Amino acid sequence: MVRRAGGREARKALRAAPLAEENKPVRPGQSGGRFMPLTEADLKRVHEAMLDLLENVGFTRQLPSCVEMVTKAGGKLTAEGRLLFPRELIEWTMETCARDITLYGQSPEHDMHLSGNKIHFGTAGAAVHVVDEWKHHDQYTGRKAGVYRESTLQDLYDAARLVDHHEHIHFFQRCMVARDIEQPAAMDLNTTYASVSGTTKHCGVSYVEPQHAEEGLKLLHEIAGGEDKWRARPFASVSCCFVVPPLRFAEDACRVMEVCIRGGMPVLLLAAGQAGATSPASLAGAVVQECAESLAALAYANLIVPGHPCIYGPWPFVSDLRTGAMSGGSGEQAILMAACGQVGRYLNLPTGIAAGMADSKIPDAQSGFEKGYTLALAGHSGANLVYETVGMQASLLGFSFEGATIDNDMLGAINRSVRGVEVDTENLALEAIEDVCINGPEHFLGHQATLSRMESDYVYPDVGNRLTPAEWKELGSKTVNDVAREKTKEILATHFPTHISDELDARIREKFDIRLPREQMKARFEPE
C-alpha cells in the first residue's frame, strides 16, 4: 500500500490546486467562545447590575418619539426627566429581538451569518490620518519615516479595495475620514459610495444627520437595483453611536437610527464609554454600563420595528489614567472587550466588539504585540463581529495600508487558533502513526496523510517570513514591513472591483454629488 508521494514536488503541486471553500483551513464564521474571562456567577451579577441600572437610573436627553414608545411599552419618565427601562420591557425585548441575522454582501459569498459564536473580523474607525510610510525615507538612517498626512476620500476607496482582496478580513467599515470633503452631508454620502464601490463585502456606514441617512438610502437603492431589492438583501449596516456616556442619548444619532431602521438597514448599537472618563474606572463597572446602554438601545430599536436586525455593540474603551489619553492597545482593553463579547453570548445576541487598536504609531513590534493579544482574546470571546481589526495605529488616529496587509496575516493565524483542534478517529491519526512506524520511513514527510492536510489544516502567511536566515539574507534581508509594502502596492495597482458598472456609475453621478472621479477609481499605484 503506497502512502507516500514525491516529496517537495508533490507538496508544491498540491498547494497549487485551488481549494473549495469548505476545505480551507480557516473561513468566516468559525465558532469562538472558548475564552471566558467571566464565570457563570460573574455573568449573572453583571446581568443583574445592568437591569438595575436601566430600571432605576435610566437615560436623559431622549427624543419625544423615544419617550412615547418606551412609556407606552411600560417605561417611565421621572420628574427629573430620566427615562427608565423596567425589567418587563427588557424581557419583552429579549423575546422579540432577532437572534440569528445575516449581514449581506453585494456578492452572496460574502454573506455573514451571525448566530451562536460565529466570528468575523473587519475594519472600522475614524482615523484622520494615513501613516504614509512607503513614500518617505529618513535621509540619515535610510529607514522609512513615520509620516502622518490627512486621509482622503481616495484613501478610503483604496482601503476598501485592499479589504476586498484580503481573505481574512471579512467586512469593511469606514476606517478613516475623508478630510478633503468639508461638508458633512457630502462626506457621509461619498463615504458610503467609496465603501460600497470598493468592495463586494458587507459594508458599515454612518451618518451625522437623518437627512444624510435618507440620501444614503436612496444611493443604496440605486446600487441594489431598487428599494425592494435593497430590503431583501441590505448589504450595508449603520454604525450608530446612540449614546453619550454615561446614560445620555445622543439626539441626532437617535434620529439617524430611526430613519435607518425604518429604511431596512441593520444597525450596530454602539456604546463607547471610556473607562475612568465617561464610564467607571473599574473594569466590571465599565462592562456593566456599556452593556446596559446597548441593551436599552436594543429595546428602543425593537419598539421602532420589532425583530429588526440589530448588533449588540458594547465597546468600553480604556484611558491611560496618568494622562487621560485613549489606550486601545492595552491589556485592560483586551479583557474589557472580551468580557463584553462573553456577555453578548450569555444574552444570545448578535454581538460586535472592537480590537486591534494599537497605540503604536507605526506597524512595528509594539503594534504587533498590542494587536496580537487584543485580537486573540476578542476572537475567542464568542462575539460575532470584531471591528477595528486591521491597519489602525495611534489609538485610532492613523491608518496604515501596509499595516492592514500585515494584520491580514495575523487574522489568518488567529482564525486558525479559533478553529481549535478537532478530535475524532481520523484526526487522532493512529493509522498514519502505525504505517510510518512499521512500514517506514519513520517520519511523516511526504506521507499521504501529511500531504492531504497541507492546505486544509494549515494557514500560511502572505507576508510573514519563515525562511532560514541564509535564505532571508540572500533575498535582501527584507522586514515584514518591506514585504507588506510591496504586496500592498501590487494589490492597489491591480485589484479594481467591477461590480458597479460604468453605466450604473454614470447614472449615480447624475443623481448624486459623487466626489471621487471615475478615472481615479483605477490604477494609481505602481508596484515595486
What pLDDT shows up at residue 146?
63
How does pLDDT run across 241-250, given as a tens digit for each residue?
999 999 999 9
Mean pLDDT of 201-214: 98
Listed by start position, the domains of the chain span 107-418
Gyration radius (Cα) of the chain, Å: 24
Per residue in 389-426, pLDDT (tens digit) is 999 999 999 999 999 999 999 999 999 999 999 999 99
User: Residue 440's pLDDT is what?
Assistant: 85
Q: What is the pLDDT of residue 356?
A: 97
Please, which pLDDT band fits residue 138 given cuts at 50, 70 and 90?
Answer: very low
Question: What confidence category does residue 15 fall into, taking pLDDT thresholds of 50, 70 and 90?
Answer: low
Whether residue 403 contacts residue 365, with contact meaning beta carbons closer than 8 Å, is answered with no
What fold, for 107-418? Answer: TIM Barrel (3.20.20)
Closest CA to 96 of 323, 304, 326, 388: 304
Count CA atoms within 13 Å of residue 102 on its CB side. 12
Joined together, the cell numbers standing for residue 83 give: 427615562
**What pLDDT is recorded for position 29?**
81
Work out whether strand 267-271 and strand 101-103 pair parallel, antiparallel, or are unpaired: unpaired
What is the rounded CA–CA span in Å between residue 201 and residue 117? 20
Residue 32 and residue 379: Cα distance in Å, rounded?
A: 6
Nine cell digits for residue 392:
489602525
- How much is the pTM? 0.92
* pLDDT band, residue 524 (cuts 50/70/90): low
* Predicted pLDDT at 453: 87
- Which residues contact residue 139 at a Cβ distance below 8 angstroms, ignoring those fewer than 6 apart? none
**Averaged pLDDT for residues 355-365:** 95
